[in-house]
Structure 1
């Protein structure tokens, strides 16, 4: 197979088949086969990035997965997130993760910072991070309202 740009899914499948022959015994770098393999991998990577991109996991699902994986309870997250009720609010998506929570989760649970920073707004509405901070009634009365 000659090396050519990958424009269609059929081109992708052909390039994948050609590259798979090299996976069991990769050719030495600098050889004609090694160069061909490297170019095929570069083309495959570019096509996959554009057409088969994998989104990072949802941060809350990543936390729940790590909890399940390590046998952790809500109480185990208290040092990282705060009081028990705050942990439940985060896990139920009624409170967004703060930067300090993300730092502790990243360090203690070994969850990638990129994953924790990827909080998403749920479809059809504003997410918890888009909520306005409630203003106390006393403070609201002290602010003059323009007429």
Structure 2
């Protein structure tokens, strides 16, 4: 006997990935079938989870990074592991250097921040001439 998966509100990255994987399996299910109904439910659950992920306040890119770090319980060392350079990450978080394209790409994935939110211009602290 085949048991159908039971879906609930998505509350974790793992649950999100499972829902995405299942959606991919059944995305061409014929209208009216049980799998089609499951697909519609998954679309709704995935959409709601993504709204929570992408519902970010209006803030400059560095503030958004700091907010998401707090949301996920990350420290600057976690970002440095992802990027590979602790000094540069520190300079960016202290508004002494702009985000590089590589940082934007990596931090977008790591922190679930849309790239568009990270490419906005922002002011560096005075007295530094760092160019991104």
After TM superposition, the score normalised by the length of structure 2 is: 0.49
After TM superposition, the score normalised by the length of structure 1 is: 0.44
Higher Rg of the two aligned structures? 1
